[in-house]
Structure 1
């Protein structure tokens, strides 16, 4: 099955969400980050390309280890070891601050991801145990700039933003957010005051704000084409690594 996935572009794109040249770029990043390991010890039963393919298929389909094992003709335990070993390596590239970064417009929002690990998530407004993940995208390209570590799903967006460290990443850049980010220094819509309606100009500003800010929702929808952010079974730092990898693959599909 793994040979078919690599040889047939249509099947590979269906199971990974990546075209062949995009997958090759992901493979190159993983190799440069030490995916082959330091050497010595028992060799892997799969070459690196197949191991990266396995991880990409896992994030795309969210199949269980038992379901993935027959596709690659290996045991479920080996699937688990491959995922555990490689999951930090496909992470999104660090945000680059070019000279014109201060002239760009970024958008931030949080998304709730259902999790099974009770130490990572909390019961949230969706009545499920979930984690809140803060994500910044570029308003023009819709590329993910950065994704913060998950916090419990009952954490308010404003607090999650303050604790995420993303403020340092976006220093000097105009960042749009919704009304949940009050008193964070971000650009949020005009608010109605008791006894005072919004002025006509403020209504127009809010309409334009909503139109632009919707792009982050579109980015979330594209990222959730990968099934892992819909119901993450990984424990500990597994959700963080999954979000980082999905953000990287999302960027690859848009940029390449």
Structure 2
């Protein structure tokens, strides 16, 4: 089969991945440092590392099937699957292993990712089987610092925050979130609106809520940018596939903001 797109043609990189050529080359270096050049199981790779990284980025961006992606790169469907299985963990954002300082302000929010793997998903409020992915960004840099393990989509943010393990990755920092994180006393949430018949919030609380909303909107913007990668709108990957995809997209977004 003839290869249609290749990293040797830099003009194709932004079209198919949304990344600039400079960011893409940085991504290739990151994957190479993590062992991307090492052979996988089975047959030797038919594509150089640059093209294999490009394949994964194209797959995440477009959410084409392996059969369709394989045609673009001139390889078999099985080979395309092997490439994604091998490189997806190497593209992923590394979990936080150190304790944050108290001056660090993080913002957490959850997003539903529809997925075909029912062993990790559940029917959620959007009537689709999905997982709740908890994403944490740094309020100052707006970079993604943590992505939690997938929780079933019918699990609310309050519980998914702890079940996903993202609470442990936020330890030591000041964490902000919306009102859906009740039950996590370490998380700063807006003051709740009074029920009907109760006195309104005092002005100082309203002012704090306004500031809280303006800062928390940064994580919503980050999630919107991540969901420009179509795999987060209908993930067909099994087992850890949705986790690797979300963390990989977070990594690419961070590189795009810092490179």
Q: TM-score range by the shorter chain?
A: over 0.9
Unpaired runs of at least 5, structure 1: none
Query: 2:136 matched to 1:136?
Result: yes
Query: 2:234 matched to 1:235?
Result: no
Equivalent residue, structure 2, for 1:181? 181
Equivalent residue, structure 2, for 1:90? 91
After TM superposition, list the pairs within 5 Å mapping 1:20-39 onto structure 2: 20-37=21-38
1:80-124 superposed Cα distances (whole Å, 9 cap, x missing partner):
11111221110113447598x432321000000011111111111
TM-score, scaled relative to structure 1: 0.92
Query: 2:158 matched to 1:192?
Result: no
Deviation at 1:192, TM superposition (A): 3.1
Query: 2:255 matched to 1:252?
Result: yes
Single out whichever of 20-29 and 138-147 deviates more from structure 2.
Answer: 20-29
Deviation at 1:166, TM superposition (A): 2.0
Q: What is the CA–CA distance in structure 2 between the aligned matches of 1:205 and 1:234, rounded to whole Å?
A: 41
Asked whether the equivalents of residues 2 and 50 of structure 1 are also in contact (C-alpha less than 8 Å), the reply is no
Q: What is the CA–CA distance in structure 1 between the aligned matches of 2:80 and 2:169, rounded to whole Å?
A: 35
Equivalent residue, structure 2, for 1:208? 211
Equivalent residue, structure 2, for 1:149? 149
SS in 2 for 1:210: helix
Asked whether the equivalents of residues 4 and 72 of structure 2 are also in contact (C-alpha less than 8 Å), the reply is no
1:144-192 superposed Cα distances (whole Å, 9 cap, x missing partner):
0000011100001011112222222222211110001112120000013
SS in 2 for 1:6: coil
Query: 2:122 matched to 1:119?
Result: no
Q: What is the CA–CA distance in structure 2 between the aligned matches of 1:5 and 1:39, rounded to whole Å?
A: 21
- In structure 2, relative to structure 1, the CA distance for the partners of 1:66 and 1:169 (3 Å cut) is same
Q: What is the CA–CA distance in structure 1 between the aligned matches of 2:3 and 2:203, rounded to whole Å?
A: 59
Query: 2:75 matched to 1:74?
Result: yes
SS in 2 for 1:134: strand
- In structure 2, relative to structure 1, the CA distance for the partners of 1:91 and 1:224 (3 Å cut) is same
SS in 1 for 2:89: coil
- In structure 2, relative to structure 1, the CA distance for the partners of 1:146 and 1:86 (3 Å cut) is same
Query: 2:173 matched to 1:170?
Result: no
Asked whether the equivalents of residues 34 and 90 of structure 2 are also in contact (C-alpha less than 8 Å), the reply is yes
Unpaired runs of at least 5, structure 2: none
Deviation at 1:6, TM superposition (A): 2.1
Asked whether the equivalents of residues 176 and 188 of structure 2 are also in contact (C-alpha less than 8 Å), the reply is yes
- In structure 2, relative to structure 1, the CA distance for the partners of 1:3 and 1:31 (3 Å cut) is farther
Equivalent residue, structure 2, for 1:6? 7
TM-score, scaled relative to structure 2: 0.91
Equivalent residue, structure 1, for 2:228? 225
User: Deviation above 6 Å: which 4+ runs of structure 1?
Assistant: none
Deviation at 1:197, TM superposition (A): 1.9
